[in-house]
């Protein structure tokens, strides 16, 4: 009897240690029917809201990102579900709609492998630590 009570108590305590989080715009793929090829940016903005981020290169690709995470106690957070909706615009009209999800991991992403190197990485950690000494002036 004590073992059953202890097991139930332990299960109850551990269930409160699971942290679930949601990040980004919570869209459903079924809601993307509101956007058709040829829709303008204003109608997309009215239907979906502001995008999570916009392409830096040309500003003509909008991304809506939705990510659900879960963690237990002090263990690292893991991504349970991820959905990405990419809208490509040509002359302010939707030209292409792409859906990506964690469930379909076979989809390929073409990431740019270029790196921006910062001079601070070449410094030693001691020099980097003391580099700001004397830089702040009183007002």
Tell me how many degrees the CA angle 100-103-104 measures, rounded to the nearest 5: 55
Q: Return all residues near 51 (Cβ < 8 A) that are at least 6 apart.
A: 25, 62, 63, 64, 87
- Are 41 and 60 in contact by the 8 Å Cβ rule? The answer is no
pLDDT-based confidence at residue 97 (cuts at 50, 70, 90) = confident
Average pLDDT over residues 20-43: 74
- Are 98 and 37 in contact by the 8 Å Cβ rule? The answer is no
| 80-85, Cβ contacts within 8 angstroms, sequence gap of 24 or more | 80/20, 83/27, 83/29, 85/27, 85/29, 85/32, 85/48
Q: What is the pLDDT, as a whole number, of residue 93? A: 92
C-alpha distances in Å from residue 49, one per residue of 30, 43, 72, 113: 16, 9, 32, 30
pLDDT-based confidence at residue 60 (cuts at 50, 70, 90) = confident
CATH 1.20.1070 assigned to domain 14-104? The reply is no
Tokens (6 digits) for 18? 């699971």
Q: Who has greater pLDDT, 75 or 120?
A: 75
Q: What is the pLDDT, as a whole number, of residue 98? A: 85
Q: Who has greater pLDDT, 117 or 60?
A: 60
Considering the entire predicted model, what is its pTM? 0.58
Instruction: Give one word for 117, left, alpha or beta, with left for phi > 0 and alpha for psi -120 to 50.
Output: beta
């Amino acid at each position: 009897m004590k073992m059953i009570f202890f097991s139930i108590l332990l299960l109850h305590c551990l269930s409160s240690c699971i942290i679930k989080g949601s990040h980004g715009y919570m869209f459903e793929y079924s809601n993307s029917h509101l956007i058709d090829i040829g829709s303008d940016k204003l109608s997309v903005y009215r239907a979906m809201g502001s995008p999570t981020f916009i392409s830096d290169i040309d500003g003509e690709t909008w991304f809506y990102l939705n990510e659900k995470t879960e963690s237990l106690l002090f263990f690292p957070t893991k991504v349970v579900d991820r959905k990405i909706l990419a809208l490509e615009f040509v002359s302010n009209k939707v030209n292409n709609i792409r859906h990506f999800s964690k469930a379909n991991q076979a989809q390929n992403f073409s990431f740019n492998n270029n790196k921006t190197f910062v001079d601070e990485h070449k410094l030693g950690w001691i020099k980097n630590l003391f580099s700001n000494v004397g830089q702040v002036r009183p007002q």
